[in-house]
Chain A
Amino acid sequence: MKRTGPILLGFVVGMLMLVQFFTPNPWIAARYNNVLDWKQVVFGVTLILGVLSLLLHHGRRIRRRVAGWSYSGVTVAGLIVMILAGAVFGKERGPYPWLFAYVQSPMQSTLFALLAFYVASASYRAFRARSLHAGLLLAAGVIVMLGRVPLGEMIGFTVAGRFYSLATLSDLVLTVPNLAAKRGIMIGVGLGMTATAIKIILGIERTYLGKGA
């Protein structure tokens, strides 16, 4: 029952969610709404689970004074300060919005900004024309990179009296070969998703139980 129960529940709920897509029946629609509401409740509860896990993990690191335990201290301190700031002073004014605007936002933005530097170093190191295919990829990459910025509007060539900018070529690359490749991948991924969903509903795929297939 410990194993069969969840599989049976998965089958019932899975079939309900599948059937509701095809039928306008009000009773099924109401059950569908119930499932969606419960989904949000479960998600909220798991956030609490996550916070507890975070505290336990970093608490242990601090107690045992493992290498880098001070970073764990910063993590726990940050968590407690934000919770207290929101609970005591409210979310709309006081330290909570200030900490969000002047501490969290700049930190997150900075990490994202690192991508610009990483793209430069990764491109320099890995974007090599080792073969014909790699050369074509390189050419397409250069065209799209320049074509997607205003500079690309100014660079181009004239054929039969008509000016073709890199921006036009970039649009062509994005809307023809790129689109075709993306569609192929999307179809494959979609089939994979459908197959996995059918396997989960039928109990063939049991990873979500945490016990392996």
Chain B
Amino acid sequence: MSDPAAAGWFQIERLPAAIATLLFAAVLFFFLRQARRGRPLFIRRIAGLEAVEEAVGRATEMGRPILYCAGLDPMEEVATVASINILGQVARKAGEYGTRLIMPNRDPIVMTVAQEVVRDAYAAVGRSDHYDSNDIYYTTQSQFGYAAAVCGVMLRERTATHFFIGHFYAEALVLAETGNSTGAIQIAGTDSDSQLPFFICACDYTLIGEELYAGSVYLSREPLLLGALKGQDAAKAVILAILVLGSLLGLFGVEAGRWLGGGGAP
């Protein structure tokens, strides 16, 4: 059993988590319904995503390929899911312009999904003939082996546009600096806040944290995805209100964290 100390069908100490999950799901469903009903939902301008078309166009003009890195995390991670969504949009643009898209991968499952996404994207714009599965390949599981492979692609293939979209670790600076030294236009997006400073230093545009998750929504404007994004924002507003209330109560010596199942500050 997961927790021998608990009895019955429900672990009562996890009740706050269950309530929070249900509440969040309810908020999400509300905004999904709003989206299904066709209500317009506002999403602010994100500079990095506005630049995608320009970046792909630049590679086309120069006659050089695009490099796309989906990060180092496996397919089950949210950042990778978001990256593959954006890849679909980038691949569409690349297909429209007839520009080659190269994507080295660290994870074989991500590689498999990416191959299908890119193939479908090319097919959607009537450029199935342009798809080459050899350009979306597996390199190695090793972190810096992957970084070395990507740097090799940048220098040998002379890629004009780089996308670093996903979750990255220490190799981020190696990738971004090498790319910067080649003069390529670079768009990065990561929820890995330890690597954000390096991308901001070395890349032309950077999507920070949740802007990455908003990326595919922003580019596709798909109503259901937009509704889910608004639901997240609403939930964040609720959490913000709870934080402010909890801080005010804390000023008066009331440890509100205990009501939510927390132990209070050590």
- Give A residues with C-beta under 8 Å from B: 18, 20-26, 29, 32, 46-47, 49-51, 53-54, 56-57, 60, 67-68, 71, 108, 111-112, 114-115, 118-119, 121-123, 125-127, 182, 185, 187-189, 191-200, 204-205, 207-213
Question: Which of these binds chain A: B40-48, B51-59, B141-149?
Answer: B141-149
26 residue pairs of the A-B complex, CB under 8 angstroms, read: A22-B14, A22-B17, A23-B2, A24-B8, A25-B9, A46-B112, A50-B111, A51-B138, A57-B137, A67-B156, A111-B144, A118-B174, A121-B177, A187-B239, A192-B78, A195-B28, A195-B213, A198-B24, A198-B25, A205-B225, A207-B113, A207-B117, A208-B81, A210-B117, A213-B88, A213-B222
Within 8 A of A (CB), among B187-235: 191, 193, 198, 200-202, 209-210, 213, 216, 220, 222, 224-225, 228-229, 231-232, 235
- Expressed in whole angstroms, the minimum distance between the Cβ of A101 and any Cβ of chain B is 15
Of the candidates A23, A46, A115, A188, which one forms a contact with B210 in the assembled complex, judged by CB atoms under 8 Å apart? Answer: A188
Instruction: Scan B1-43; emit 1 where CB is below 8 A from any A CB, else 0.
Output: 1111011111100100110010011001000100000000000
Question: From B21, which residue of chain A is reached at the shortest CB distance?
Answer: A194
Question: From A210, which residue of chain B is reached at the shortest CB distance?
Answer: B116
A20 to B117, CA, bound (A): 32
Grouping DSSP codes into helix (H, G, I), strand (E, B) and loop, the A interface class, with mixed when no group exceeds half, is helix
Which chain A residues lie closer than 8 Å to B85 at the CB level? 207, 213
- B145 near A204: Cβ-Cβ < 8 Å: no
Grouping DSSP codes into helix (H, G, I), strand (E, B) and loop, the B interface class, with mixed when no group exceeds half, is helix
- A68 near B156: Cβ-Cβ < 8 Å: yes
Which chain A residues lie closer than 8 Å to B17 at the CB level? 21-22
A133 to B127, CA, bound (A): 46
A126 to B107, CA, bound (A): 32
A65 to B78, CA, bound (A): 39
State the total of A-B contacts with C-beta under 8 angstroms: 176
Which chain A residues lie closer than 8 Å to B82 at the CB level? 196
Which chain A residues lie closer than 8 Å to B1 at the CB level? 24-26, 29
- Expressed in whole angstroms, the minimum distance between the Cβ of A48 and any Cβ of chain B is 8
- Expressed in whole angstroms, the minimum distance between the Cβ of A181 and any Cβ of chain B is 8
Question: From B176, which residue of chain A is reached at the shortest CB distance?
Answer: A122
A26 to B202, CA, bound (A): 52
Question: Knowing that A71-B152, A210-B115 are A-B contacts, what are 19 other residue pairs whose CB atoms are under 8 Å apart, sorted by A's residue number?
Answer: A21-B2, A23-B9, A50-B108, A50-B141, A60-B134, A71-B156, A111-B171, A122-B173, A122-B176, A126-B200, A189-B191, A189-B209, A189-B210, A192-B210, A192-B213, A198-B24, A207-B84, A213-B88, A213-B222
- Expressed in whole angstroms, the minimum distance between the Cβ of B227 and any Cβ of chain A is 9
- A196 near B78: Cβ-Cβ < 8 Å: yes
Which chain B residues lie closer than 8 Å to A49 at the CB level? 108-109, 112, 138
Which chain B residues lie closer than 8 Å to A182 at the CB level? 193
- B173 near A119: Cβ-Cβ < 8 Å: yes
Within 8 A of A (CB), among B88-138: 88, 107-109, 111-117, 120-121, 134, 137-138
- Expressed in whole angstroms, the minimum distance between the Cβ of A125 and any Cβ of chain B is 7
